[in-house]
Amino acid sequence: MIHFNKETFDKALAEGGLMMVDFWAEWCGPCQMLGPVIESLAEQYEGRAVIGKVNTDEEPELAMGYQVSGIPTVIFFKDGREIDRKVGVMPPDAFVQVLEEHL
């Protein structure tokens, strides 16, 4: 699981492929709850999709840039472009569905 900053995020995005990014923050209870789900998906999809997290507190520019206005927000990218986003806590299936559709 990757913890992105602006630089590593832009690099991963430029590489194309399927990417799933969890925008979160320490003070956000629902984000804490979703954390283990994201981690388990990162393990499950290792080598097939890039799965990582952006701390909105440390990377406000990324959060603003993608108009993240509620956390947790999970954004999916393919070939450098946003293809879907999910806002709020959801079970792994909700994310698996999007990942499988675009793999």
Partner 1 sequence: MSYDIMVLGSGPAGLAAAVAARGRDKSVLVIGGRWQDSPLAKAERVDNYPGLPGRTGLELLEEFVRHAQALGTDFVVGKALSLLAWKGFSLTVGSQVCQGKALILAPGVVRNAKYPGEAEYLGRGVSYCATCDGMLYRNRPVAVVGLAPDAPQEANYLRSLGCQVTYVSPLRPEGLDKDIPCVQAGKLAVKGEQTVTGLEADGALLPCAGVFILRRAVAPTDLLPALETEEGFIRVDRRMATNVAGVFAAGDCTGGPLQISKAVGEGHVAALSACEYLDANPPAGA
> What's the closest the beta carbon of residue 30 comes to partner 1, in angstroms?
4
State yes or no: residue 68 binds partner 1 (CB under 8 A). Answer: yes
Contact by Cβ (8 Å): 44, 1: no
Q: Please identify which residue in 34, 42, 51, 98 interacts with partner 1, judged by CB under 8 A.
A: 34
Give the count of alpha carbons within 13 A of 94, CB side only.
14
* Residues forming a β-bridge with 22: 53, 74
Site residue total, partner 1 (CB under 8 A): 27
Q: Is 55 among the residues known to form the active site?
A: no
- Active-site positions read 28, 31
